């Protein structure tokens, strides 16, 4: 559950000196939030209580959709669904450019069990500190079967359909979205992707 703090700290140390870094305060707050994540509250309550210290004025985002396979592990199945993700490229302006034509790193929040807008709203560390400092693209995919990401629409909660709500399917959703973005966004093909998450989402970030 501490992946957000560990990843943020590691990436910050690689990017800047630990002394007098503008990231240090944010990282300390991330560790405090991580301790709160251990309470294992459900999605909305977890975000409100644990990420409250990181909340900042809302940053605008684009609400986009990607046509995902329902079953990533069945090559004979051609069923698809609309996977929602939030994207912000305001800081992805080239000042974080890297070799190979990379415009800047991609920061990916591995959405967990809830509406992704809630996690966006209360993630000041990524939006207000890391993205501007690193010149990064922000991508917040929503987990399947939550929010607007419903593979079977209003029938998504039926037991036979919930068989497709697994960690393996979720990880494949995120991996396929990353491949899609790298293939379609100019300047993204050779960019590093850093995954962030908290609680179950932190596990997803570590596994990804």
Domain that holds residue 8: 3-207
CA distance 122 to 5: 15
CA distance 136 to 148: 25
CA distance 43 to 194: 22
Q: What is the CATH number of the domain that holds 26?
A: 3.40.50.1820
CA distance 138 to 61: 9
**Positions of the chain with pLDDT under 70:** 1-58
Closest CA to 107 of 66, 61, 63, 139: 139
pLDDT for residue 58 = 62
pLDDT for residue 84 = 99
CA angle 114, 129, 25 (to 5 degrees): 100
pLDDT for residue 13 = 38
pLDDT for residue 59 = 75
For residues 198 and 94, is the Cβ–Cβ distance under 8 A?
A: no
Whether this prediction's pTM lies above 0.85 is answered by: no
Q: What is the 3-state secondary structure (H, E, C) of the chain?
A: CCHHHHHHHHHHHHHCCCCCCCCHHHHHHHHHHHHHHCCCCCHHHHHHHHCHHHCCCCCCCEEEEEEEECCCCCCCCCCEEEEEEEEECCCCCCCCCEHHHECCCEEEECCCCCCHHHHHHCCHHHHHHHHHHHCCEEEEECCCCECCECCCHHHCCCHHHHCCCCHHHHHHHHHHHHHHHHHHCCCCCCCCEEEECCCHHHHHHHHC
- Number of domains observed in the structure of the chain: 1
Q: Give the Å distances, CA to CA, from 73 to 69, 170, 182.
A: 9, 12, 22
pLDDT for residue 155 = 98
């Amino acid at each position: 559950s501490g992946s957000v703090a560990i990843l943020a700290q590691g990436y910050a140390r690689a990017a800047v000196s630990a002394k007098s870094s503008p990231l240090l305060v944010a990282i300390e707050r991330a560790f405090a939030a991580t301790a709160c994540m251990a309470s294992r509250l459900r999605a909305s309550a977890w975000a409100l209580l644990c990420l409250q210290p990181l909340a900042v004025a809302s940053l605008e985002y684009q609400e986009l959709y990607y046509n995902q396979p329902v079953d990533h592990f069945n090559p004979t199945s051609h069923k698809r669904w609309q996977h929602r993700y939030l994207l912000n490229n305001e800081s992805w302006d080239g000042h974080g450019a890297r070799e190979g034509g990379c415009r800047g790193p991609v920061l990916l929040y591995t959405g967990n069990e809830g509406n992704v807008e809630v996690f966006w709203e209360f993630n000041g560390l990524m939006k207000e500190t890391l993205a501007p400092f690193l010149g990064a693209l922000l991508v917040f995919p929503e987990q399947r079967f939550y929010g607007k990401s419903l593979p079977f629409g209003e029938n998504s909660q039926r037991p036979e359909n919930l068989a497709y709500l697994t960690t393996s399917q979720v990880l494949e959703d995120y991996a396929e979205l990353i491949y899609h973005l790298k293939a379609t966004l100019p300047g993204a093909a050779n960019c590093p992707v850093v995954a962030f998450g908290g609680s179950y989402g932190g596990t997803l970030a570590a596994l990804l």
